[in-house]
Chain A
Amino acid sequence: MAPRIKIPATKYPVERFTLGNGLRVVLSPDRSAPVVGVAVVYDVGIRSEPEGRTGFAHLFEHLMFQGSENLEKLAHFRHVQGAGGTFNGSTHLDYTDYYEELPSGGLERALFLEADRMRGPRLTEENLRNQVDVVKEEIRVNVLNRPYGGFPWLKLPPVMFDTFANAHDGYGSFEDLESATVEDAQGFFDRYYACGNAVLSVAGDFDVAEATAMIERHFGDVPARPAPSLPDFAEPGLTEEKRESYIDRIAPLPAVAAGWGVPDPIGDFTGYLPYAVLAEVLTDGDASRLVERLVQRDRAATNLGGYIGFMGDEYQVRNPTALLLQAHMPPGGDAGKVLQTIDEELDRLVTDGLKPGELDRTQARMATRLLQGTDDVLGRAQPMAVLELQRGRPGLLNELPKLVSEVTDEQIVAAAATLRPERRASVEVIPGAAQ
């Protein structure tokens, strides 16, 4: 076995300040490439949707692109792309983000655009109806017309959780989407899109003093509005196994996903982090425990994945969340057998511990992935914004490779020991299109 490789770290600088109106700002300058990433993150996500309004956080994300105080519909897209940049937004369980990546000469324009929609998007009946149609097509593309659509991120939460906040469909039902009103949208904006409930982050090629002046110029007069109080979404964990299955009419082969509750990612990061590493020990690459056993040896699965958070955002999710394992199986595959084998392998890990080098190599690979993510300006701006929003610690991004490398064998074994069948929820895909 090769000697243990040294895990390097990044040293991206981090500057933080808060504007008079309560908007938190994170700056991370780096002049190595002439590009900037801008992210604005609001502390509202799928979990905050009211009952009867499933999918509303995501629908609202679409409405934020439909014009704003000084901008016509379509102007946002044209101004970002006309500055040579790209843009998007995404809706998660605990936050909604908006971001641009541009040649550095477009920074002030991006700040102007974000500030303008923070003051107020154009919430019109016409824009709402148009975007309800667009979102329905998005759901058709990603869920209804596609095999395994929504598996497991839309399918496992209702098995695992009981409360509406945690269990409902984040893409939303067509019925709820169609009945959404402009008044709902205005109420959602007023409540959650306060500048006190947001973080602006800029990474890449800029001068800190110049960028600070630009930010004050564009965001400084956004009216101050405080953040709403954040609800506690915690639920008691499972005490007996829960299993469900459903027929996917266009899927040709079976699949299964299982989830176990994990410690609070924010309140108990030390307790949580070993689970993030454990997921990789179990599933990262052909030398990982479960791939070796289930894919290579038993041929009980053709693909296997493991990660934390239903949307794969392990350092950007709040409590409660889960460690997930998902397997796609060959024809006739037996989900029960796969789950039983996972239990066996977890038992073996708990009893025998890790093999020499097993944890080191997993940590080395995790470091590569973390570092590769930060090579992109948005790979810094976006997570730093969320880390500031949720933890007040944007610099944690620089520390993650090292923190991951400090997780010990004992912590991995202790984490594995909690993944008991009676704490597990699972959902099985029955292939409706099997020959």
Chain B
Amino acid sequence: MSAKTLPDLIPDADLHLPREAERRLPSGLTVIAIRRSAVPLVELRLRIPFGRAPLAPATLLSQAIFTGTSTLSSIDIAAELQAVGGSLGAALDPDRLLISGNALADGLDRTLELLAGVLTDATFPAEEVGVERERLVDHIQVALSQPAHLARVALLKRIYDTHPYAVQTPTPDEVRAVEPGALRQLHAERVRPAGATLVLVGDIDPDQAIDVAEKVLGGWTGGAPDGVIPPIPSIETGPLLLVDRPGSVQSSLRLALPGVTRTDPDYAAVTVANLIFGGYFSSRWVENIREDKGYTYGSHSGIEHFVAGSTWSGSAEVATEVTGPSLLETVYELGRIASLPPGEEELEQARRYALGTLRLSMSTQAGLAGLASMYAGFGLRLEHLREHSEALAAVTREEVFAAGAKYLAPSRAVTVVLGDADKIESQLSVLTAVERSRE
């Protein structure tokens, strides 16, 4: 059979942003509503600033906020939400409390009413809080048996040291000590509309949806104390930190470097440099340690953005017996992206991936809601998609090379490895200075 040639791509049409509306309510809550009507649903994301909230009570609050109001039990809330095809859940990160959910579009009003109930009138009944507290303790116990979680705990501590971002999961004992009173107090102080953003996306009329939100959430008022977190510290280099997990049949390899914020002029160039290094499947790192050498099922790198700063990290789970060789190849690939310009074809491929996946991510209600809510947390709007796309389209080889040298140099990276220390320490110490974790 004659060789067949790859069909050309049809260039993307201009980026089309969906219809949206925005209003800042007198309470300080910003409501953003976006129309995407392909399915008769609505997605909801409420982001409440929660920086510097005490970790254990804040974590338990995120698990227990739906346990009751003065008029509804936890089961009533769950059943009433379910009746309109709805579901709401809460999660905590170092910057925010995020309440997310979805419902049938006809159920938007009822879902917002139930949301308003827990925002203004959560009672944290002792019995239900007790159930959620024990569940949270059990979940943390399970997390503490997972290598990926343990490696992240060690890496955060290594990067952020004494900064509030250094510890993002409370200990079981800290959670056990939290009483319902502490949750009521934290809710009264911090679950407040000032600075919060509600995003609604779906088969809705944006202006009408905001009207409904304004009416239903009008009783949610009040300011919150300053939760501003100081800028993240610069990362101090030092020996590789080795965390022992006896009996591990794999090692968890983690590297970190200072990151770049979304609005930094270098951001598009760093995005592309990172993709070429290890940010997607067709990257040098994956091709090297997975597709060439079979050391890992997968590796990935990327930038994690927090309000107080951004950090780059790379992670791979590798076979115990090739932990040292895996680190060697990783440092080699970082050195290569930092020392040599990328190829023209590599650049175009990564650029198109970055541009294309932006379009994929905004093609569903849930994707749009996530993007809009995340951007809002950094003071950005969907229009930023257009600006970022233009920057990606314009980035040059020289700029990517400069970004690699400036931001991905292995000499500035810190490394944490979690695994069976007795089996991997000697492999690692022939490559770099190693220090065993004291914890």
Contacts and interface: CB of A to CB of B under 8 A. Distances in A.
Interface of A: 1-2, 5-8, 10, 30, 32-35, 69-70, 73-74, 77-79, 81-87, 101-106, 108-109, 111-112, 116, 119, 129-138, 140-141, 144-148, 214, 221, 249-253, 284-287, 292, 295-296, 299, 302-303, 328, 330-331, 357, 360-362, 364-365, 367-368, 371-372, 374-377, 433
B369 to A, nearest CB: 11
A7 to B, nearest CB: 8
B248 interface: yes
A285 B12 contact: no
Contacts of A367: 85, 104
A131 B296 CA distance: 10
Interface string B69-107: 000001111111111111100000000000000111111
Interface in B38-84: 38-41, 66, 74-84
A2 B363 CA distance: 32
Given A371-B40, A377-B363, 11 more contacts: A83-B352, A104-B10, A109-B7, A134-B296, A138-B297, A140-B297, A296-B128, A328-B142, A330-B134, A365-B86, A375-B365
Q: How large is the interface on B (under 10, 10 to 19, 20 to 34, 35 or more residues)?
A: 35 or more
B387 interface: no
B171 interface: no
A299 B134 contact: yes
26 contacts: A34-B13, A35-B360, A70-B4, A70-B5, A77-B281, A83-B9, A105-B9, A105-B11, A108-B7, A109-B6, A116-B4, A130-B293, A132-B294, A137-B250, A137-B317, A140-B319, A141-B298, A250-B145, A252-B142, A285-B78, A287-B75, A287-B82, A302-B135, A330-B138, A364-B107, A375-B41
Nearest to B40: A8
Contact of B356 (A106, A130, A136): A106
A86 B103 CA distance: 28
Contact of B104 (A8, A32, A87, A147): A8
A72 to B, nearest CB: 11
B349 A365 contact: no
Which 9 A-B residue pairs are closest in the complex by CB-CB distance? A84-B356, A133-B294, A105-B10, A368-B85, A82-B349, A287-B79, A286-B78, A33-B363, A287-B78
A328 B141 CA distance: 12
B338 interface: no
B249 A140 contact: yes
Given A109-B7, A112-B6, A253-B138, A82 B348 contact: yes
A145 B246 CA distance: 11
A74 to B, nearest CB: 6
A135 to B, nearest CB: 8
Interface in B127-168: 128, 131, 134-135, 138-139, 141-142, 144-147
B287 interface: yes
Given A85-B360, A302-B134, A146 B146 contact: yes
A131 B293 CA distance: 10
A292 B82 contact: no
